[in-house]
Amino acid sequence: MSADKNASTDLNLQQKDVVEEVVSTKSGRENFDTPQDHIGAISQIFSQFQFAYHNQFHKAFPDAESLVIAKKYWLSSLQGFSPSVILAAGKKITHGQTFLPSLADLVSACETGDDLFGLPNLQEAYLEACSAPSPKCNFSWSHPAVYFAGKAASWFLLANESPAVAQPVFEYHYKLLCDRVRRGEALEVKVAVPLTDVVHQPLERAELRSRLAKLRRDLKL
């Protein structure tokens, strides 16, 4: 029974490699929402490592069997992190590390959490939202999620209520927005564009008399 289960897991990992390759070709953004997608995240991480560290990768995993064993071990060790965090951590490592990352390297990168997405922590985000000057949309936000959380919570509430009242409301919206960012959604604050000043030229006397005459006729004066 155990052997059948292991064989099934191995097959799933191998099938996921193919599926993830197709998904990556069709779309530049992956959306991992369910627990089983941890398998997809691990498969994609290994594909990235294979491309970025080609010779080192094949030296570390010389055959299909060793690769499947490694994937299973990494999968079991990274279950505590969401798939999107795993993917973001893998991307961060491959962009800044010369040598093939170890499992410990990836775990360490995952533990930075929201830093991978440029998201400030809850307290920092709340203080930023409360202190930002108006117009809010023109402020240089640390992350758009802070702006949209403040807007959803109500700028009036943040400015006039105590933290005991306002902060839980803000944090509720901020957590929802952070989840959307971790799933790959891009948030953008639209900057308010001031209206162009219109310079009105004075009317010529003849035009002014003509308009006044028309106005009198319309009003039957």
Domain membership flag for residue 205 = no
The parent domain of residue 143 ranges over 122-182
User: What is the rounded CA–CA span in Å between residue 131 and residue 117?
Assistant: 22
Query: Residue 65, SS3?
Result: helix
Q: Are both 135 and 76 inside the same structural domain?
A: no
Q: Are 52 and 97 in contact (CB under 8 A)?
A: no
Q: How many domains does the chain have?
A: 2
Q: Are both 106 and 12 inside the same structural domain?
A: yes
Q: Are both 104 and 152 inside the same structural domain?
A: no
Query: Residue 128, SS3?
Result: helix
Q: Are both 101 and 144 inside the same structural domain?
A: no
Please say which residue of 93, 112, 131 terminates a domain.
112
Domain membership flag for residue 193 = no
Cut 0.75: pTM above it: no
Per-residue tens of pLDDT for the chain, all 221 residues: 445 545 444 444 444 443 343 333 333 344 444 445 899 999 999 999 999 999 999 999 999 999 999 999 999 999 888 888 899 899 999 998 999 999 999 998 888 878 888 899 999 999 999 999 999 999 999 999 999 999 999 999 999 999 999 999 999 999 999 988 887 788 988 876 665 555 566 667 777 778 777 777 777 76
Domain membership flag for residue 212 = no
Domain membership flag for residue 170 = yes
The number of residues in the chain equals: 221
Please say which residue of 91, 112, 133 terminates a domain.
112
Q: Are both 31 and 97 inside the same structural domain?
A: yes
Q: Are both 94 and 17 inside the same structural domain?
A: yes
Q: Are both 25 and 52 inside the same structural domain?
A: yes
> What distance lies between CA 183 and its chain's CA centroid?
6
Q: Are both 29 and 82 inside the same structural domain?
A: yes
Place of tokens 């006039």: 160
Determine if residue 118 is left, alpha or beta; phi over 0 gives left, psi from -120 to 50 gives alpha, anything else beta: left
